[in-house]
A and B are shown apart, each in its own frame.
Chain A
Amino acid sequence: MALGPAAGWAQTDLLEPQRAFAFSARALDEKTLEAQFAIARGYYLYRDKLKFSVEPAALASVPTLPAGEIKDDEFFGRVQTYRTRLAVRLTLDAPTAGERVTIRAESQGCADAGVCYPPQVQTVTLTLPAAGKGGGPAIDATPPRKSWFN
């Protein structure tokens, strides 16, 4: 077993923010996208720090965020947070079928272990389907590791 660099390391495990808050997006139909965060156990995102945008297509309206879990923060007061999973529908204004669009998500979150991550921006680029053709597969902003070594 590893007695080299591992010796003297703490038994604390923390995830890189892009894996603690794994962002993905997919097209539901020709004008609706779904942005999703898969949030690792023990981590949470702040509702009021979330921002979504799409380029070059514009959003038809400000996306509606679901109600979060109330966290009684000792210093920030009552704040809403998300754990486990957050899915948000994004409706595009005058989209063009077959157009490549980039979904941009800005978020900020913390780990219950007592650390916070700086705000991060994650993006997914996908092709809008033609009208009536249904949706597309979910695309990960940070693809899962292909092996144990990368």
Chain B
Amino acid sequence: MNRRYSVWLIVAVVGAVALGSGLYFGTRVRVPEAGLVAGADASALLGIALPDASGRQEALAQWKGKVLVVNFWATWCTPYREEMPEFVAAQNELGARGLQFVGIAIDDADKVRQYAAEIGLNYPALIGGYGSIELSRTLGNSVGALPFTVVVDRSGRIVHTQLGPLRDAKLRSILAQLL
């Protein structure tokens, strides 16, 4: 077989194997928005405790039994400005039906306090370090970016994960199934 054919044969075989395994060519990765960890046990998340902006420790386990929306965010990442006022509205409207938002900020307490006051934040804003980004990776945030949101049902199962802003229409359709 001549050399040119050999090269093409190798390319074809490797390509077919890569496609068959569901891998992408090159360096692109897929982001699991929902599915990879959907249905997974949220106990790794519910087991943590973090300080709020005033330094008081809050354990996530205290919200077990509620529909929990945990939002990883930071003031240095502007997309949060779109989704958080919508979260405030949803918390206000649906809190009585068992909805609980919790924000985990990868940020300084001062900046979090300032923004919380600015938008009248009505749910806990916990302060996570970069360790919280690592936690979010285990929950499906494969590239460690923000914002990242996890929705946990009343039984403690993860029903949705979202990298990038979770906009109101999508949020409402998810919550409609759970509340």
A positions within 8 Å CB-CB of B: 1-2, 4-10, 12-17, 19, 73-76, 108, 110-111, 113-118, 144-145, 148-149
A9–B33 CB distance below 8 A: yes
> B interface, how many residues as a size bin?
35 or more
B147-161 interface code vs A (CB 8 A; 1 in, 0 out): 100000000000000
Nearest A residue to B148, CB-CB: A115
Contact A17:B38 (CB < 8 A) given known A2-B22, A9-B30, A149-B23? no
8 cross-chain pairs, A with B, having the tightest CB-CB distances, nearest first: A2-B22, A8-B35, A10-B33, A116-B77, A115-B145, A114-B164, A12-B31, A6-B22
Instruction: Find out whether the CB atom of B29 lies under 8 angstroms from the CB atom of A116.
Output: no
**Among residues 96 to 127 in chain B, which have CB atoms less than 8 Å away from a CB atom of chain A?**
106
- The listed residue (A19, A118, A149) touching B106 by CB distance below 8 A is A118
With A14-B142, A15-B143, A17-B144 already in contact, 6 other A-B pairs whose C-beta atoms are closer than 8 Å: A1-B20, A8-B34, A10-B32, A15-B29, A110-B78, A118-B144
Q: Tell me if B81 counts as interface (CB < 8 A to partner A).
A: yes
Chain B contact residues, majority secondary structure: loop
CA distance A35 to B153 in the complex (A): 48
> Is the beta-carbon distance between A10 and B143 smaller than 8 angstroms?
no
Shortest beta-carbon distance, A24 to chain B, in Å? 15
Establish whether residues A74 and B78, one from each chain, have CB atoms under 8 Å apart when the complex forms.
Answer: yes
B75 to chain A, nearest CB (A): 9
A-B contacts, CB under 8 A, total: 108
Residues of A within 8 A of B81 (CB): 74-75
Return the chain B residue nearest A20 by Cβ: B143
**Interfacial residues of chain B within 124-179, with CB under 8 A of chain A in the complex:** 130, 133, 142-147, 163-165
Contact B145 A117 (CB under 8 A): yes
Contact A1 B76 (CB under 8 A): no
- A78 CA to B168 CA in the complex, in Å? 28
Q: Are A13 and B29 in contact (CB under 8 A)?
A: yes
Q: Is B3 an interface residue (CB 8 A)?
A: no
Min distance, Cβ A115 to any Cβ of chain B, angstroms? 4
CB closest residue in chain A, given B19: A1
Whether B22 lies near A115 (C-beta < 8 A) is no
Can you list 27 A-B pairs, Cβ within 8 angstroms, ordered by A? Answer: A1-B19, A1-B22, A5-B22, A5-B35, A5-B36, A6-B30, A9-B30, A9-B34, A10-B31, A12-B30, A12-B31, A13-B30, A14-B29, A14-B142, A15-B28, A15-B143, A16-B29, A73-B78, A110-B77, A115-B79, A116-B146, A118-B74, A118-B144, A145-B27, A148-B23, A149-B18, A149-B23
A12 to B32, CA, bound (A): 8
Interchain CB contact under 8 A, A118 and B30 = no
Task: Decide if A116 touches B35 in the complex (CB within 8 Å).
Answer: no
B78 near A115 with CB under 8 A, answer no
Q: Does B25 contact A (CB under 8 A)?
A: yes
User: Are B30 and A115 neighbours in the complex by a CB distance under 8 Å?
Assistant: no
